[in-house]
Chain A
Amino acid sequence: MRTRTLLVDLLVLAAAAAFLCPVVLLVALSFQDPAGAVSLENYTRAWEEAGLARALANSTLIALCTLVGVVVLGSLAAYGLARAARRTGYRLYLLFLVGLILPFQLALIPLYQLVADAGLLGTYTGIVAFSIGLQLPITVFLYTGFLRAQPRELADAALVDGASHLQAFVYVVFPQLWPVTGVVLVMNAVFVWNDFLTPLLYLGGSGKETVPVTLYTFVGEFGTEWGPIFAAVVLATLPVLAVIAVAAPRRRRAG
C-alpha cells in the first residue's frame, strides 16, 4: 500500500512537471538577454515596441463595459424568465440556450457586414455590443440556474408589500445573486480578455486594438525572437492572473 501511494505521488508530480515545463521555460526565456544573462531588457523592449500600454488600456475599457452590460442584462433577463408564465419563460430560455450550441463562425460574416454597415468597425461600441450579445446565453444560463435554486418567498414578500418587480429585483433578488455574479464576472472577463478573432477583424488598424491583437502583430514582427515575445506574453497575461487571484478565495467561501 505504501509503495503504491508513493508511485501515485511520483506519477502526479511527473505529470505536473510536464504541464508546468512550458510555462517555466516561457518565464525563464523572458528574463534572458541574447547573451544568456538575466535582464529586464526583453520587458523594456516589449513594453516600448509592442505598444502594450495602449493595448492594456483598450482591453480594460472593453472588458469593463462588457462586464457591466452582461451582468445587468443577464440578471434582469433571468429574473424575467423565472417570473414569466411557465411555458413562455421556458421557451425563451431554450431560445437563449440555442446560442450555446451555435458556432459563432456561422454568424461571423453576416455580423461583420452588419457592423460595417452600421459604421461601427473600429469603434469600442461595436466590439462591446458584440461581446455582450455573444456572452449573454452562458450568462443567462448561469443566472437562471442559480435563481431557480433560490427560495422565491423573499421576493414574493416584497411584491406583496407593494414593491414593483424592478424594486424587488434591485433590493431583494440581485443581492441574492452575488455568488453567481462572481462566476459570471470571472468567466466573462477571461473570455473578453482572451478573445482574438473578432477584435482582429473589427479593430485591426484602428488604434483601438486589444491585447491579443497587439500581441499577434508583435509576434508577426519578431518571428522567433523568443525573449521579447515571451516578455510581452507575460505582461499580457498578468491582468487575468490578478483577476483570478482576487476572485478565487471569494469563490471558495461562497461554495
Chain B
Amino acid sequence: MRRRSTLWFVAPAFALYALVVLYPSLAGATSAFTDWSGVSGERRWVGLANFERLVSDSAGRAALRNVLALSVFVVAAQTVLGLGLALALHAAAGRRRWLRVAFLAPALVSPLVAAFVWRYVCSPAPDEGVNALLGFLGLDALQQDWLGDPSLALWSIGAAAVWQHTGYTVVIFEAGLARIPRDLHDAAKLDGAGARARLRYVVLPQLRPALTITVVLTTIGTLKLFDQVFALTGGGPGHATETPSTLIVREAFAFGRYGYSTAIALVLALIVAAVALVQLRTLREWELTR
C-alpha cells in the first residue's frame, strides 16, 4: 500500500508560519528601500537613502551605538555572574541548591513587570529604591537620578536586563556542570591537579557548549530588547537609551515613516543574523574538534 507523502502534515504549520513571519519579513526587507508612509499605500523606490539616513541621523547613530554598548555590557556581566553563581551552587552540592529559585525568580515575571519593578528601584526619590539603600548606608552623596541622567540611564537598563535574565544563564551552566563525568575530576585529582587547575583544564573546556549557547542567546536577546527600554525610558532622556527597537516603533507608529522604520529593522536583522551565524559556527567547530 502506497501512502501519501507526509509533507501534508507540515503544510498547515508552514502556511501559517509563512503568512505571519516569512512573508511580512520579506515585505519589510523590500520596503526598507522605499519611502512608504503607510497611510497612502503609495511607495517610491529610494535606493539606499533610508540607510544613509540611519547612519547620518543622530537618533539612528545613538540607537546603533547604544545597542552595541548594551550588548557588550549585558553579555559580559551575565556570563561572568551566571558562571560564578553556577560554580558556587554546584560546589554547594545540595545544601544551597534551592537558592537557584532566587536567581530564577526575576526570569519568571514578564519583561514589562520587571521594568515596573526597576522603575521603583531606579526612582529618583531619595526614599525609594537604590537611593533609599544608599541613604540608609549613609552614602547620600551617591544618590542619583538613575534613569533621568543621560550618562547613567543606559546602564540602569542594562542592570535590569542582567537582573532578569541571569537566572537562565545559571541554569544552563549548572546543566553543563552536571554533565561533566566524575571520572574526569577524579583522574585530574589523581594527577595532582588542585582546585584551580581543575577549573582551568577540566571544567572550563567542558563548559564551552554551555558558554556558546548563553553568549548566543544573551546577545540576540539584548540586540532585540524592547519592553524594558520602552517601559523604563522610552529611549530618553534625549536619545541616551535609544535602541533600534524603540526607534523602529516610534518612526512607524508616531511619525508614519514606515520605509525608514523597516530599514532600521533590516539592519537589526542583519546584525542579529551575523552574530548568530558566527557564534553557531564557533559551536560547530568546537563540536567537530571534540
Chain A contact residues, CB within 8 Å of chain B: 5, 8-9, 11-13, 15-17, 19-20, 22-23, 25-26, 29, 73-74, 76-77, 79-81, 83-84, 88, 92, 95-96, 98-99, 101-111, 113-114, 129-130, 132-134, 136-137, 140, 159, 162, 164-165, 169, 190, 193-194, 196-197, 201, 212, 215-216, 219, 224, 226, 229-230, 233, 236-237, 240-241, 244
Contacts and interface: CB of A to CB of B under 8 A. Distances in A.
B279 to A, nearest CB: 11
B105 to A, nearest CB: 5
Interface string B202-235: 0000000000000000001001101100110000
Nearest to B111: A194
A194 B120 CA distance: 20
Contacts of A102: 21, 25, 269, 272-273
13 contacts: A5-B91, A15-B88, A19-B166, A22-B117, A92-B14, A95-B22, A99-B17, A102-B272, A110-B23, A136-B16, A140-B13, A201-B253, A237-B113
Given A102-B269, A106-B265, A107-B25, A26 B117 contact: yes
Contacts of B224: 103, 105
- Interface centre among A88, A92, A101, A105, by most B CB within 10 Å? A105
A133 B16 contact: yes
B22 to A, nearest CB: 7
Nearest to B166: A19
B27 interface: yes
B28 A26 contact: no
Contacts of A134: 20-21
A73 B6 CA distance: 13
Contacts of A8: 88, 91-92
B76 interface: no
A105 B244 contact: yes
Interface of B: 1, 3-14, 16-17, 19-25, 27-29, 31, 38, 85, 88-89, 91-92, 95-96, 99, 102-103, 105-106, 108-113, 116-118, 120-121, 123, 125, 128, 163, 166-167, 220, 223-224, 226-227, 230-231, 244-245, 248-249, 252-253, 258, 261-262, 264-266, 268-269, 272-273, 276
Nearest to B120: A226
Contacts of A105: 224, 226, 244-245, 248, 264-265, 268-269
B163 A19 contact: yes
A232 to B, nearest CB: 9
Nearest to B87: A8
Contacts of B276: 101
A212 B286 CA distance: 41
B112 A194 contact: yes
Contacts of B163: 19, 22
A23 B113 CA distance: 11
B236 to A, nearest CB: 16
B280 to A, nearest CB: 9
A236 B31 CA distance: 38
A12 B89 contact: yes
Given A12-B92, A76-B12, A240 B108 contact: yes
A-B complex: 3 closest residue pairs judged by Cβ atoms:
A133-B20, A80-B9, A194-B110
Given A22-B117, A108-B28, A237-B110, A103 B265 contact: yes
A140 to B, nearest CB: 7
Contacts of A81: 10
A130 B20 contact: yes
B13 A73 contact: yes
A69 to B, nearest CB: 8
Contacts of B258: 109
A13 B6 CA distance: 53
B242 to A, nearest CB: 14
A143 B218 CA distance: 23
A13 B92 CA distance: 11
A17 B105 CA distance: 11
Contacts of A15: 85, 88, 102-103
Contact of B28 (A11, A110, A136): A110
Contact of B6 (A23, A80, A114, A241): A80
Contact of A98 (B3, B20, B22): B22
A216 B112 contact: yes
A80 B10 contact: yes
B99 A106 contact: no
Given A133-B20, A240-B110, 14 more contacts: A15-B88, A19-B105, A80-B11, A84-B6, A95-B22, A103-B269, A105-B269, A106-B28, A106-B269, A107-B28, A196-B111, A196-B112, A226-B120, A240-B109
Contacts of A74: 13
